[in-house]
Amino acid sequence: MPLIKIIPLQFPAVEELEKMLSIISNRFKMETSLSTRPFDMNPYFNPVRSQYNANEIIQKLVTSAAENNKIVGITELDLFIPVLRYIFGQAYLGGSAALVSGHRLHNSRYGLAEDPNLYFNRLLKCLIHELGHAFGLKHCLKLGCVMVSTTYVEEMDQKSDLFCHSCQAELTELTQ
Ligand SMILES: [Zn+2]
Ligand SMILES: [Zn+2]
């Protein structure tokens, strides 16, 4: 039975993730589970950038994914890939692993009052977006679709956590 497995990577608010399990399960029509296994992020820290290397973390996650399963690592630590200043998340197209960071999704990071609901929604959008990639979906240009590419948190707020009609149709085909 294929499974979407969510692994907290030094992510303190595990109860937030529990709330997401049923939403993710519904959206992808797959069972979900939350791992309790501790994951050491120290080997992936880059002291020059004071960030964590997303490519290396994903490679590690891939090795622990069972056949047909998708594994999603979720962290509060700041992620980078060498060509970008920061990333919200990363996944290999049609691969078995994805990675998401809540680090830059907090309003407080941008000098605004913290908004837990907004943070939760942003994190959920990131998770669904990266999982979409892991299932084989590419970026979409349709306004509001969760698969629209986002660089800034404001853009994140302009899209929904839903797939547009054509992304949904493609996902259904990919997951059959
Ligand atoms: Zn993307
Ligand atoms: Zn779309």
Identify the nearest ligand to the CA of 142 by its number: 2
Per-residue model confidence (pLDDT) at position 14: 87
- Whether this prediction's pTM lies above 0.85 is answered by yes
> Kind and range of the H or E element at 154?
helix 153-158
CA 119 to chain centre: 13
Which one of the listed residues 56, 114, 130, 173 is annotated catalytic?
130
Q: How confident is the model at residue 175 (pLDDT cuts 50, 70, 90)?
A: confident
Ligand 2 centroid to 166 CA: how many Å?
A: 6
Q: Which residues partner with 107 through β-bridges?
A: none
Identify the nearest ligand to the CA of 139 by its number: 1
- Residue 1 confidence (pLDDT) above 80: no
Q: Is 15 one of the catalytic residues?
A: no
Ligand 1 centroid to 137 CA: how many Å?
A: 9
Ligand 2 centroid to 62 CA: how many Å?
A: 26
Identify the nearest ligand to the CA of 129 by its number: 1
Span 3-137 CATH architecture = 3-Layer(aba) Sandwich (3.40)
42-48, Cβ contacts within 8 angstroms, sequence gap of 24 or more: 46/80
- Residue 36 confidence (pLDDT) above 90: no
